Structure 1
């Protein structure tokens, strides 16, 4: 049984990926510093899969503890999620983002190099494209300077991985996701941000639940059909499945080059208000929202061409936006 390390494995996408990996028969070890996650997700994962993953509370910026982990564990592959991830916060706290997102990655790569782990999946982002000139975005779309320090850390992470792969003959897949939404159908895991949410859907669900007075929609004057920004909303369970396929591709030596990139999105762009209305219609509930100023670091639109992932990973998103809105609300009601 291959042993997979999932960093940030108690976070939103990480926890769903741990479930998918365990269901696919992998042994999973989680590292998380609990800065934006809750330790009870270990038991929540176990209640879904009937297997309790190993868990280490480690700050990846601590190189000594990372090295100790690698000394104690023989790892076949790594899925690296651990990172701060809020665009707006990264504009306000750039040094925190550069330190956390890049030093953590470097320490993991040192561990791979020194303890002979050959395979890593990097949690990247469509933010590496900046505001692309044309839609949909495919993997050959030229990378622009990202609009936020968060996006810059993802672009720098990819560049670091390219040099790392070339220097040490390691296999790397960078998965560039668009906007994850939804929750597990069991309602046992989902997105649980600390404080005011930076992502749209937990902000919507918390407003619907009365936790927030209203949803702030950042920007009503974009050049779109209703003035709100366009994104590609992909269900988190579909994303998790893509990580399982990607790690298998590396472990089975099916990768075509040492470094590969895949976009993960639905291929459909939706405005913020379209998503709000999809949530309202799916759950028969009204969401109080107010249009606010645009948020620094945000782009006008981004949605994916996902045909390369379909061709090479045999991956297709299966879950509709309506279904994602239902599971997101069921999750919110359960917490």
Structure 2
């Protein structure tokens, strides 16, 4: 029997996902439910982020308390259902939630550390034409604990600390605002994973009201805007969300965000042959984002089973050089994991199709 709260899986049966609780929330629970002092909650919170599989492994926690925790909570750690490793070291994972839903995450190795790209929803309803995540629609939101669970599972598998986090997997993070906000608090906690805000990137397709709400949190994370076209007509074809929040509204929200946070925004731009890759598109892109002074991250689109294709590499380089030579800072994202379907949603979609 499942108990669903705002689309996020917080309970299974009568047990709650303990990874969704902040240390302060655990202190309150321990006092009210177990008549335990605050330091016990701090002990347990710290154990949650170590390589353990059950509450019984919390060696300095009294046996009775461990029994109560086992009765009332599940530890939230996810099982890796499938893993695929690329020749470049990138690993793509299918992870199983407590309700048997399957989600994706990716581990990437860089010279500056190990990064993970995690999902914030099961599926997606944004409908971007180049993304496989939304082909089966939105199932539900993920809880903050389920987001943490992805990182812990990959960290355990990799046997190394995750130093950078990208919320750019399946789902639209800002559509799951409350749980994502809580996730950011949890992952930043020094007693937990202790990942600095400046090592976290949140990507959105452009939910304007939520960008304003995120700005009010004033967190020094990196905001990435999935832009993909400087034209309202073409962007609406590529990304249906543009019909609700057109470019003018999006740019105003970006300006408000940078003014409030003093953080530079990254504009993700997937180059699609014949859609958004002309010099005229480059000129329009420069003009559009000039007031925001953001960085452009060019992404040659991953080929899926759609008819969309990336321009050839020389043209991608030409597009990049044009932007930089006209005063717009831009770089080309390194293509990682293409041989293991590491683009968002591909692996899960293939699994679901095979399971039909």
Same fold (TM over 0.5): no
Higher relative contact order (Cα pairs below 8 Å, separated by 6+ residues): 1
TM-score norm. by structure 2 comes to: 0.34
TM-score norm. by structure 1 comes to: 0.36
Q: Which has the larger radius of gyration?
A: 2
Higher strand share: 2
